[in-house]
Amino acid sequence: MSTPWQKLYESQDDWAFIMTMGFDVETFGYILTSGFAAAWYHTPIPQNDTNTTGNPWPSCRSLDAAGALGLVLHYLNSTMHEISLQQIFAIIPATVSWYITFGFLILLSTLKNMPEGQIHWPKHDEFDELSQLRTPDGYYLVADTAFPCGTADILGCICTPLKDGQWISGTPNQMVGINQIQTVYLQSWQQTNEDQEVWTGFAEMLFSDQIKKDHVSHFHITFKYE
């Protein structure tokens, strides 16, 4: 009998991979063969009752390298609790915790050694070149609240969280302060069965499901300065 994870992996379906782990099949395999699998099979998992300098025993592990990478990416790409991951990957609680912690370490090490995973800070003339780049239609950069207001030519290209004193659109005849969101929206967020499902099961949902059921995202990018 196959586990839910094994069914997913055997499908080799790009859409399923992206929705659950954030990467398509090719990219998943690329990360796996760029050092993750080697580290998983040749590095002992740190535990209190084992010798970290001893020989690893990959044949005794509950997951192979693909399963370990899948577990870490599921954890990173969702808000689900570890009990759900136990069910998806058919492993016990202690094993989930050990594998996630160890998987984080070797995933970080793998990405650091992948050219595509490295951060390159611009230098000298590169700043001027990059300053001319524009976001594609329908896309924008996300900055923190300390980002200053820009000129009219970048309007809609950079979005930041609400600051104190800002207002967002509530109804056509109402502006809602950031501290009023709970009192204004709370009732409308729980009107239907689907709303109740989101409200009570949000922690167990994948990010893809959260996006599908999002009814307020347009408020994140509509500001009125007073």
List, for residues 41-53, the tens digit of each pLDDT value.
888 776 665 555 5
- The pairing of beta strand 141-142 with beta strand 158-159: parallel
Q: What is the pLDDT of residue 153?
A: 64
Q: What is the pLDDT of residue 92?
A: 87
Amino acid code (one letter) for 75: Y
For 58-110, what is each residue's pLDDT tens digit? 566 789 999 999 999 999 988 777 888 888 898 888 888 888 999 999 999 99
For 148-201, what is each residue's pLDDT tens digit? 655 666 666 777 766 665 665 554 445 555 555 566 666 666 777 777 776 677
Rounded to whole angstroms, the Cα distance separating 21 from 8 reads 11
Write out the two tokens for 14: 């790009």
Q: What is the pLDDT of residue 121?
A: 82
**Is the predicted pLDDT of residue 223 greater than 90, yes or no?**
no
Q: Tell me the mean pLDDT in the region 110-139.
A: 80
Domain regions of the chain by residue span: 4-117, 123-161, 163-226
Q: What is the pLDDT of residue 111?
A: 92
Shortest CA distance to 87 belongs to which of 204, 199, 172? 204
DSSP state of 224: B
Q: What is the pLDDT of residue 167?
A: 60
Of 57-61, 124-128, 140-144, least confident by mean pLDDT is: 57-61
Helix (H, G, I), strand (E, B) or coil at 65: helix
Model's pTM, two decimal places? Answer: 0.58
Q: What is the pLDDT of residue 26?
A: 95
Q: Other C-beta atoms within 10 Å of 166: how many? A: 16
Q: What is the pLDDT of residue 27?
A: 95
For 18-45, what is each residue's pLDDT tens digit? 988 999 999 999 999 999 999 998 887 7
**Is the predicted pLDDT of residue 224 greater than 60, yes or no?**
no
Q: What is the pLDDT of residue 148?
A: 60
For 40, 114, 154, 177, 178, the CA distances from 224, given in Å and listed in that order, are: 51, 43, 17, 10, 12
Alpha helices in the chain (DSSP H): 4-11, 14-21, 25-31, 37-42, 65-76, 82-89, 93-112, 125-131, 181-185, 193-201, 207-212
